[in-house]
Homo-oligomer: A and B are copies of this chain.
Amino acid sequence: MAVRETDHSGNRISGEETRTARRRAVGAGSPLGLRANRIEAECRAKGLRLTGQRRLIAQVLSEALDHPDAFDLHRRVAMLAPHVSLATVYRTMKRFEREGIVKRLEFRGGHARYETAAKRHHDHLIDLETGQVVEFRNAEIERLQEAVARELGYRLVGHRLELYGVPVPAKERSEEDL
């Protein structure tokens, strides 16, 4: 899954391919045989019917290294089973989201993208040059969000935090005169 947990500070969780253009391919290591995955287990646990389409969509999303949108998912699924419709992808994502199996993301640009909900909570930094999305965690920010909501008289039930940045070339990183 290429989940790099490398940063010494514990902020960086993962990187991924770009998403700017619609040019990704299905992960090469995905034979037609359906492997069990966490999403299938969750379907069973929540009483969702385990249809062939759902199995495929679950597998494709489980194996995704990026944050695909419905169109991406459909394209990848269609490589395994061409008859699956885009409507089914949308319906499945909606259902999965309602069951807490996937998370719907809405970065700038309008259309929704999805990720499995099983991972630990994290937020996203979007590389504006490549479209790459980097996941990160920051406990202090989380704490402050709770505090802000409480001060305003609310109980925090959700949040959305996205950072948009441009990469700093390595040579500039030491000079702090930016």
With A148-B141, A162-B159, A163-B159 as known contacts, state yes or no: A154 contacts B136, CB within 8 Å: no
Count this chain's copies in the assembly.
2
Interface check A160, CB cutoff 8 A: yes
Interface check A9, CB cutoff 8 A: yes
Partner of A162, one of B125, B134, B160, B178: B160
Q: Which residues of A contact B (CB under 8 A)?
A: 7, 9, 11-12, 106, 108, 110, 125, 127-128, 134, 136, 138, 140-141, 144-145, 148-168, 170, 173, 178
Q: Would you list 17 pairs from A and B whose C-beta atoms are within 8 A, ordered by A residue?
A: A7-B152, A9-B151, A106-B108, A106-B110, A125-B152, A141-B144, A141-B145, A145-B161, A145-B163, A148-B163, A154-B163, A155-B167, A156-B164, A157-B164, A157-B165, A159-B164, A160-B164
